């Protein structure tokens, strides 16, 4: 088992990529804190426990610093440490620049960017005290090349890449690896509302000829959270089937 007895916090773990990651990490021996603002997270934790793993669901709004701090304290109280943080929570509110509302700008920036800051800042002191830890942030391929109608989303994910590189420098000397993944178009609830015509265009543009699955991204999270990635720091790993080459 690649994560035997490690304690992992996974945000946005109630569905999609986060759910797949929580289940995979448990299979690899991790004790999992399933964190999400939606109640489906309890079902994920239940599934892990039914399969013989250890998990707890902590309902958390990553934009709320007090909730985040209570979540971190609850994880430490239950499991005693935090070895892995997967900053996976995210939202979409697409619109072209001239039609993008301030409300939708604020929501996406608050969840996708400030949320990553909130959770990492709350977790980092524990990892520093331990002298080790793995932090993996979710960015996006659109942060690398931009995308029509995604001003807020692209800005948030480009910001995540910037945070990743800063923290890799600041926390690396403390024994903490900080990396990011940049998924391409993945078949999840988040992309379910994208018109099929657009998804077909993305399939055609992807050299592997398909959209990604939550498992594809979960496998990347697992690699960067494992000892196999101990000398990888500040990297952005594209998981996009070759969409950006």
pLDDT of residue 240: 94
**Would residue 145 show up in a list of annotated catalytic residues for this protein?**
no
The DSSP result for 222-236, as a single string, is HHHHSGGGTT--S-E
What is the rounded distance in angstroms from the CA atom of residue 11 to the CA atom of residue 76? Answer: 16
pTM of the shown model: 0.96
Catalytic residue among 25, 57, 79, 153: 153
71-93, pLDDT tens digit by residue? 999 999 999 999 999 999 999 99
124-164, pLDDT tens digit by residue? 999 999 999 999 999 999 999 998 999 999 999 999 999 99
pLDDT of residue 162: 98
Q: Identify the band that residue 216 occupies on the pLDDT scale cut at 50, 70 and 90.
A: very high
**Stretch 1-21: mean pLDDT, rounded?**
97
Q: Identify the band that residue 185 occupies on the pLDDT scale cut at 50, 70 and 90.
A: confident
pLDDT of residue 20: 97
Q: Identify the band that residue 67 occupies on the pLDDT scale cut at 50, 70 and 90.
A: very high
CA atoms within 13 A on the CB side of 93: 19
Closest among 65, 12, 63 to 38, alpha carbons compared: 12
Edge-to-edge order in the sheet of strand 7-11: 55-59, 31-36, 7-11, 84-87, 133-138, 176-183, 236-239
pLDDT at 122 over 80: yes
Domain limits, the chain: 7-239
**Stretch 86-106: mean pLDDT, rounded?**
97
Q: For 7-239, CATH number?
A: 3.40.50.720
Residues 6+ apart with CB under 8 A from 105: 151, 152
Q: Report the SS3 class of residue 129.
A: helix
What is the rounded distance in angstroms from the CA atom of residue 124 to the CA atom of residue 104? Answer: 29
User: What are the phi and psi torsion angles at 183 (to 5°)?
Assistant: -70, 150
pLDDT at 192 over 80: no
């Amino acid at each position: 088992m690649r994560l035997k007895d490690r304690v992992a916090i996974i945000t946005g773990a109630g569905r999609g990529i986060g759910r797949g990651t929580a289940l995979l990490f448990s299979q690899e021996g991790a004790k999992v804190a399933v964190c999400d603002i939606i109640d489906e997270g309890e079902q994920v934790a239940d599934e892990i426990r039914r399969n013989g793993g250890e998990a707890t669901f902590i309902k958390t709004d990553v934009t709320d610093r007090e909730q985040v701090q209570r979540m971190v304290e609850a994880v430490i109280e239950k499991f005693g440490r935090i070895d892995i943080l997967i900053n996976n929570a995210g939202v979409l509110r697409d619109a072209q620049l001239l039609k993008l509302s301030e409300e939708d700008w604020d929501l996406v920036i608050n969840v996708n960017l400030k949320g990553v800051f909130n959770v990492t800042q709350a977790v980092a002191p524990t990892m520093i005290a331990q002298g080790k830890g793995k932090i993996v942030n979710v960015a996006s391929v659109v942060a690398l090349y931009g995308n029509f109608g995604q001003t807020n989303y692209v800005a948030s994910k480009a910001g995540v890449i910037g945070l990743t590189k800063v923290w890799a420098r600041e926390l690396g000397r403390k024994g903490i690896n900080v990396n990011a993944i940049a998924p391409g178009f993945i078949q999840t609830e988040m992309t379910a509302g994208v018109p099929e015509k657009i998804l077909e265009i993305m399939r055609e543009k992807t050299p592997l000829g398909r959209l990604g699955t939550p498992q594809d991204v979960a496998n990347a999270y697992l690699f960067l959270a494992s000892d196999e990635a101990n000398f990888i720091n500040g990297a952005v790993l594209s998981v996009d089937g070759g969409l950006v080459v």
